Amino acid sequence: MAGLALNNPALRVQCVGFRALDECHRIGVLITPWTINLVMVGDRFSRELHLAPDARRSWDFPSGSYDFMGGEEAECGAYQFCSLFSPAFEFPDQGSAVATAHEIMAGLFVETADCAAERVEAARIAGRSPMQLPINRRAFLQGMLGARKS
């Protein structure tokens, strides 16, 4: 890819923020000079991440649902990726790309107000009280703190 017009010469390849999503998958951000992707990797013997060419799979996170495409490399097996920046010309240096990657990873696991509103509306449509929805500590505190800001 060196020398191609879509490369940002200020960037280099770096993995940022990879963490376990479940027992079989890890999720993180892959920075390259030509693109920045959210990447899902798994057990190299797992067939779950294999996708047909141009096929997409949606993965749900607390912040929302995101479409991933698939790939495969001998070194890591099957993987899926969600393009975040392509090309990655917005970044003046590696540090700003890494900082953005950390923010993306933090935001990925935070439930947005829109997601919470969708869950409440789905409960209402199903004839259940929103008070019956399971709540975690983060959602409880966000609700309390959000109410205090008003």
Q: Name 14's bridge partners.
A: 31
User: Is residue 73 domain-shared with residue 22, that is, in the same domain?
Assistant: yes
Predicted confidence at residue 148, as pLDDT, reads 40
7 belongs to a structural domain: no
- pTM value is 0.71
6 belongs to a structural domain: no
User: Is residue 27 domain-shared with residue 88, that is, in the same domain?
Assistant: yes
Predicted confidence at residue 64, as pLDDT, reads 82
Contact 36, 7 (CB under 8 A): no
Q: How far is the C-alpha of 131 from the C-alpha of 21, rounded, in Å?
A: 27
Give the pLDDT of the chain (150 residues) as one tens digit per residue. Answer: 666 678 999 999 999 999 998 888 899 999 999 999 999 998 666 678 888 888 899 998 888 889 999 998 888 788 999 999 999 999 999 999 999 999 999 989 887 666 666 767 777 777 766 555 555 544 544 454 444 443
Place of tokens 């991440």: 49
Predicted confidence at residue 33, as pLDDT, reads 95
- Taking CA 134 as the corner, what is the angle to CA 60 and CA 146, rounded to the nearest 5 degrees? 85
1 belongs to a structural domain: no
User: Is residue 67 domain-shared with residue 133, that is, in the same domain?
Assistant: no
Predicted confidence at residue 19, as pLDDT, reads 93
Structural domains of the chain, count: 2
Predicted confidence at residue 89, as pLDDT, reads 93
| 3-state SS class at 124 | helix
Q: How far is the C-alpha of 119 from the C-alpha of 131, rounded, in Å?
A: 11
117 belongs to a structural domain: yes
Question: Quick one: DSSP state of residue 132?
Answer: G
Query: Which ranges of the chain does DSSP label H, i.e. alpha helix?
Result: 94-108, 113-125, 137-149
Tokens in use for 20? 């376990």
Its domain, for residue 128, covers 113-149
8 belongs to a structural domain: no
H/E element, 119: helix 113-125
Of 108, 125, 141, the last residue of a domain is: 108
Predicted confidence at residue 22, as pLDDT, reads 85
